[in-house]
């Protein structure tokens, strides 16, 4: 790993921890259910970030709170990836339990997105542990299976009939195949997928 860069950067999780350390329903001045959803969204992003770090680096430090200049964790060791992924599991389960329970006509993080992300991250972790001889993989694979099964059984999504149009839509909200979307703006935020599809179609 290089002396700097390479992805070993904890600035994002520091921002999330600052929010989690200071968040309260009284400060936010929102109803308890709305506050729980806000916490769920923060924990969703922390879980997602940590899962990607574990995939990339294996054992990593788990930072549960904002680091200060004299925090011993700044010079602490990495933590076994199983302990980290157990914390990821707690965070993503909190998100699933407290985020909005349906697909709404917007691109905000919701319960369905959290279920899909849980299925992906724990399918990877369970499979990695199994084929690298780390053991303790059954629980993670079961968590991935249960999350995927819940998402499928609720029947909120379906395959889009026109694959070309799927990647050519300027409006992704409401698309039955899109679980977590990124809105595009013509000439501002775009994707090269449509150009590649056009090239394939012409050939």
Q: What is the pLDDT of residues 109-128, one digit of tens each?
A: 899 999 999 999 999 999 99
Lowest mean pLDDT among 2-6, 18-22, 102-106: 102-106
Looking at the DSSP bridge assignments, the partners of residue 189 are 185
CATH among 1.25.40.390, 1.20.1260.10, 3.40.630.40, 3.30.10.20 for 11-156: 1.25.40.390
CA distance 41 to 98: 9
- Whether the CB-CB separation of 78 and 60 falls below 8 Å is answered with yes
| Cα 153 from chain centre | 21
Helix (H) or strand (E) holding 200: helix 193-202
Q: What is the pLDDT of residues 161-202, one digit of tens each?
A: 887 777 777 777 777 888 887 766 656 665 666 556 555 655
- Whether the CB-CB separation of 17 and 49 falls below 8 Å is answered with no
Q: Which two tokens stand for residue 176?
A: 């039955």
Q: At what angle do helices 111-131 and 32-57 cross, to 10 degrees?
A: 30
What's the pTM value of the predicted model, to 2 decimals? 0.85
Sign for the CA dihedral angle at 71, 36, 108, 174 comes to positive
CA distance 86 to 107: 28
Degrees to nearest 5, angle at CA 123 with 118 and 127: 155
Q: Which two tokens stand for residue 146?
A: 């249960």
Indicate the domain borders of the chain. 11-156, 159-203
CA distance 178 to 160: 9
Length of the chain, please? 203
């Amino acid at each position: 790993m290089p002396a700097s860069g390479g992805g070993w950067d904890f600035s994002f999780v520091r921002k999330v921890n600052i929010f989690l350390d200071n968040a309260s329903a009284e400060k936010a001045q929102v109803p308890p259910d709305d506050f729980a959803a806000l916490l769920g969204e923060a924990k969703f992003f922390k879980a997602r970030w940590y899962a990607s770090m574990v995939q990339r680096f294996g054992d990593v430090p788990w930072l549960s709170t904002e680091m200060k200049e004299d925090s011993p964790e700044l010079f602490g060791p990495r933590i076994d990836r199983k302990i980290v992924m157990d914390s990821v599991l707690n965070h993503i389960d909190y998100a699933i339990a407290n985020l909005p329970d349906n697909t709404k006509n917007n691109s905000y993080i919701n319960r369905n997105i959290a279920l899909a992300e849980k299925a992906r991250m724990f399918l990877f972790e369970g499979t990695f542990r199994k084929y690298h001889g780390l053991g303790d993989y059954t629980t993670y694979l079961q968590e991935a299976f249960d999350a995927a099964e819940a998402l499928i059984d609720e029947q909120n999504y379906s395959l889009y009939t026109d694959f070309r149009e799927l990647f050519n839509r300027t409006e992704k909200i409401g698309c039955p195949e899109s679980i977590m979307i990124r809105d595009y703006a013509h000439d501002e935020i775009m994707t090269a997928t449509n150009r590649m599809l056009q090239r394939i179609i012409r050939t």
